[in-house]
Structure 1
Amino acid sequence: MYTSALIIAALCFVATSYAGDESQAIITKYENDIKPDGSYNYEYGTSNNIQAQESGVGSVYAAGSYQYTAPNGENIQLEYTADVNGYQPKGNHLPTPPPIPDYILKALAYIEAHPFTRIQLKK
């Protein structure tokens, strides 16, 4: 449940910091369903094109997405899951690590192809 609260807070921050007059934005869609077994889902949309949805089970698992238009005009879309493996966001706007250089890949392949015997030091 904390994940959904954080996302809602982040989206509210984005909505308030958006360049232009967002003070007149209204909620155009809102659905919220909480079941006795702890599962839930919600979805909402606003007149300034913020869309979000999430479903999950208590504090065990959550999956969802949100999208909005950034102040620079870029369409931001993010999908995520949160479970025992942590929070895992996916989006084209997120930074990615550089590719591993060829010489490192060749060195790793060599090490894997030529295992060494472990040396036991005596006291």
Structure 2
Amino acid sequence: MNSLLVSFIGLLCVAAVLSAPAENEPVPIVAQESDIQPDGTFKWSFETGDGVKVEQTGQPKQIDQETAVVLQGSASWTDNEGNPHQLTYVADENGYQPQSADIPVAPEVPPAIARALEYNAAHPEQDGEPQSQ
């Protein structure tokens, strides 16, 4: 009985593997470029056969007591539904700053809450004090 059960489960596994969609073919790289300079600046890019394009540049920048690499880049692609997407970004002393129509935008802060936040910022000495009744 156990061998029959094991055989049946084995056949189910084989059927599941055979009925699964075939793996996607590898996507070819149709263009690629890379340039690294002795001073630390660089640029690279690539494009794939399915239309993905990615590029990035970077250069060292003195920020306070450290040397950091400042980056700029972009990526574009088309999703499975045929919708185009594009992303650009900068990464520097102000952090990662992406820009894209695909990035959700927070709703505007209601005026009453904005006034309350301004009041709190202008009166930090009142933070944490118990209110008198």
TM range (shorter): 0.5 to 0.7
Say whether residues 1:33 and 2:42 are aligned partners.
Answer: no
Give runs of aligned pairs for residues 94-105 of structure 1, distance below 5 A: 94-105=103-114
Large movers: runs of 4+ above 6 Å: none
> Where do residues 1-123 of structure 1 align in structure 2 (5 Å cutoff)?
22-58=24-60, 59-105=68-114, 111=119
Counterparts of 1:57 and 1:22, CA distance in 2: 37
Matches of 2:39 and 2:116 in 1, distance apart?
Answer: 52
- How many residue pairs match? The answer is 96
Equivalents in 2 of 1:87, 1:108: separation in Å? 26
Closer, same or farther: CA 21–71 of 1 in aligned 2, 3 Å: farther
What is the TM-score of this pair, normalised by structure 1? 0.64
Q: Which runs of 5+ in 1 are unaligned?
A: 1-19
Task: Give TM-score scaled by structure 2 length.
Answer: 0.60
Displacement of 1:53 in angstroms is 0.7
Deviation at 1:38, TM superposition (A): 0.3
User: Any stretches of 5+ residues in structure 2 without a counterpart?
Assistant: 1-21, 61-67, 127-133
Larger radius of gyration: 2
Structure with more relative contact order (C-alpha pairs < 8 Å, separation 6 or more): 1
Deviation at 1:105, TM superposition (A): 4.0
Identity of paired residues, percent? 32
Q: Report the aligned-residue RMSD.
A: 2.7
